[in-house]
Amino acid sequence: MSFIEQTIRFFSPATALQRQRAKAQLEAGDKVGYWRVGAQSSTNRRASGQSLDQPDSSRNHTDRVTLIREARWLEENSSVVKSILRKYRTFSVGRLQYVPRTSSEEANKAITAYVERWMASCDLTRRHHFRVLAGLGVTSMKRDGDIGYIVSEVPMTPLDEMLKISPIRLQAIEADRIGSIPNRNGTDAKPFKPLKRGEQDFSGVVIDSTGRPIRYRIYNRSTTGESMMPALEVPAQEFLHLFDPTRLDSYRGFSAFDAAITDIKDLQEILACEKISVKYLSSISGVINNADGSADQDVSLDTTHSDYMSDADRMKKVEPGAIQYLAEGESFNPVDFNRPSPTFNGFLDTLVRSTGLTVGLPFGFIYSWAGQGTAVRMEAAQAAREFEMTQLTLEEKFLYPIVMRVIARGIQLGHLPAVADFDAGEWRFPAKVTADIGRESKALIDETMAGIISKTQIAADRGEDRNIIRSLLRAEAMELVEDAKMVQEASGGVLDLPTAIYMLERRAPNAPAIPAPAAAPTEDVPEIEDEESPEDEAEDIAEDEAEAGSTD
Please write the tens of the pLDDT for every residue from 423-477.
999 999 988 877 666 667 777 777 777 877 777 777 776 667 777 777 778 888 8
Residue 217 lies in a domain: yes
Please write the tens of the pLDDT for every residue from 42-96.
766 677 777 777 788 777 888 888 899 999 999 999 999 999 999 999 999 988 9
Residue 496 lies in a domain: yes
Residue 546 lies in a domain: no
Of the candidates 210, 241, 261, which is a domain's last residue?
261
| 445 touches 391 (CB < 8 A) | no
The domain total for the chain is 2
Residue 264: CB partners within 8 Å, gap ≥ 6?
74, 78, 80, 81, 257, 351, 355
Of the candidates 238, 261, 284, which is a domain's last residue?
261
Own/partner long-range contacts of 381-389 (Cβ < 8 Å, ≥24 apart): 381/433, 383/91, 383/433, 384/432, 384/433, 384/434, 386/359, 386/360, 386/361, 387/88, 387/91, 387/92, 387/432, 387/433, 388/432, 389/360
**Residue 536 carries which side chain, given as an amino acid letter?**
D
Residue 401 lies in a domain: no
Q: What is the DSSP string of 129-191?
A: -HHHHHHHHHHHHHHTSEEEEEEEE-PPPHHHHHHT---EEEEEEEGGGBS--TTB--SSSPP
Please write the tens of the pLDDT for every residue from 27-36.
665 555 666 7
**Residue 103 carries which side chain, given as an amino acid letter?**
S
Of the candidates 242, 261, 280, which is a domain's last residue?
261
Average pLDDT, the chain: 81
Q: ∠ CA(454), CA(96), CA(241), 5° rounding?
A: 115
- Provide the pLDDT for residue 319: 65
Q: Decide the pairing of beta strands 97-100 and 425-428.
A: antiparallel
Residue 79 lies in a domain: yes
- Provide the pLDDT for residue 299: 42
Measured distance CA(128)–CA(149) in Å, rounded? 13
Q: For a pLDDT cut of 70, what percent of the chain falls above it?
A: 76
| 329 touches 290 (CB < 8 A) | yes
Residue 144 lies in a domain: yes
Measured distance CA(130)–CA(289) in Å, rounded? 69
Between 164-173, 298-307, 455-464, the lowest mean confidence (pLDDT) is in 298-307
Please write the tens of the pLDDT for every residue from 241-269.
999 998 888 999 999 999 999 999 998 88
Residue 159 lies in a domain: yes
Please write the tens of the pLDDT for every residue from 94-123.
889 999 999 999 999 999 999 999 999 999
Alpha-carbon radius of gyration of the chain? 43
Residue 473 lies in a domain: yes
For 169, the domain range is: 58-261
Q: What is the DSSP string of 204-272?
A: TEEE-TTS-EEEEEEEEE-SSSS-EEEEEEEEGGGEEEEE--SSTT-SS---TTTTTHHHHHHHHHHHH
Measured distance CA(479)–CA(475) in Å, rounded? 6
- Provide the pLDDT for residue 308: 46
